[in-house]
Amino acid sequence: MSTKSFSLLSLFIVFLVLDFHGVVANGDLITDVCKNASAIRSQISPIIKYDFCVASLKANPASKGADLLGLGKISMETCLTNATSIRSYIAQILKGKKEQPVKHALEDCLTMYSGALDNIHRAIASYEKKDYKKANIFITGTDSYSDICEAGFKGLTKQSGDFSQLIAISVAISGMV
């Protein structure tokens, strides 16, 4: 083997190792972040389920190469997507409802999830401006909206439980950056 092809080969191997290392390191980061997040005990956020945390971050393919800051952004975007679909779902079931107490409760839920969405948008905007503390405050405030909806309407337990987890993950990560 010539010296030239040998050095090309070693360069190739170095890149292979670096690339492999990058993937492993990121898998470790998600694991690490979710381990730490699930160890948090707070008065306002639910306890984060480790498996849910890992699955929710890995669900976005962009998490593969992401650093901690990137994971924070991804988790907030997941909250945004989730709140948007919950809101659409509420609007959809509201259409078929005529009975006043249920209708009223669902209208409140619609308002609450709109408020939650505003909050998440503000959190993401702050995060993009590198104001992580403000982002953390906005995202922390988001959970109370779904709680208020939940108090009035009992048909969204699964959705609001998942949503609370997603919010808690964002709160945790924006508190780590």
Ligand X SMILES: *[C@@H]1O[C@H](CO)[C@@H](O)[C@H](O)[C@H]1NC(C)=O
E strand or H helix at 161, and its extent?
helix 157-176
- Residue 116 CA to residue 128 CA, distance in Å, equals 18
DSSP 8-state class, residue 42:
-
- The nearer residue to ligand X, 89 or 102, going by C-beta atoms, is 89
- The nearer residue to ligand X, 61 or 99, going by C-beta atoms, is 61
| 109 is a contact residue toward ligand X (CB under 6 A) | no
- The nearer residue to ligand X, 82 or 174, going by C-beta atoms, is 82
- The nearer residue to ligand X, 4 or 158, going by C-beta atoms, is 158
Opening angle at CA 55, ends 110 and 61, nearest 5: 90
| 68 is a contact residue toward ligand X (CB under 6 A) | yes
The residue from 28, 85, 104, 151 that contacts ligand X (CB under 6 A) is 85
Contact set for ligand X, span 123-162 (CB under 6 A):
159, 162
Structure-token match 């337990």, residue found? 157
Binding string, residues 25-64; x marks residues near ligand X by CB under 6 A: -------xx--x-------------------x--------
CB of 55 to ligand X, least distance (A): 7
Q: By the 8 A CB rule, do 164 and 146 touch?
A: yes
The residue from 38, 82, 140, 146 that contacts ligand X (CB under 6 A) is 82
SS3 assignment, position 130 = coil
The residue from 48, 74, 86, 124 that contacts ligand X (CB under 6 A) is 86
Tokens of 82: 């989730």
Structure-token match 């669902």, residue found? 106
Torsion sign over Cα 169, 116, 131, 72:
positive
CB of 4 to ligand X, least distance (A): 42
- Residue 59 CA to residue 130 CA, distance in Å, equals 24
Q: Which residues here bind ligand X, judged by CB under 6 A?
A: 32-33, 36, 56, 68, 82, 85-86, 89, 159, 162, 176
